[in-house]
Amino acid sequence: MAEHRHQSPLRGTKVIPRPKPADPSYGEANYRYAGQEGHIHEVVTAGGRELAKVGFADKRVVYYLLEDLEVLPRS
């Protein structure tokens, strides 16, 4: 079962997903949004891995491994 941390200190943080090429953890949507700026909605721990729920300008939400996100400086 996944553990949700809605009050994560990363909530709202701007990020750019940078998934590794041909990573079996990711699908087509992950690579479509790679390199685009989004923001973290929440962090989920599933199977011992930390995933971030990332929202994009078109309202699409995609999960990425936390380690594959480039955190942008706060403006």
Q: Note the pLDDT tens digit of each residue in 24-45.
A: 999 999 999 999 999 999 998 8
| Contact status, residue 52 vs residue 9, Cβ threshold 8 Å | no
Q: Note the pLDDT tens digit of each residue in 7-26.
A: 578 899 999 999 999 999 99
Instruction: List, in order of start, the domains of the chain with CATH numbers.
Output: 3-71 (2.30.30)
Dmax over CA atoms of the chain, in Å, equals: 35
Higher pLDDT among residues 75 and 15, named by residue: 15
| Contact status, residue 40 vs residue 8, Cβ threshold 8 Å | yes
| pTM exceeds 0.85, yes or no | yes
Would you say residue 1 has pLDDT above 90? no
Residue 55's nearest CA partner among 12, 10, 7 is 12
The confidence score (pLDDT) of residue 6 equals 54
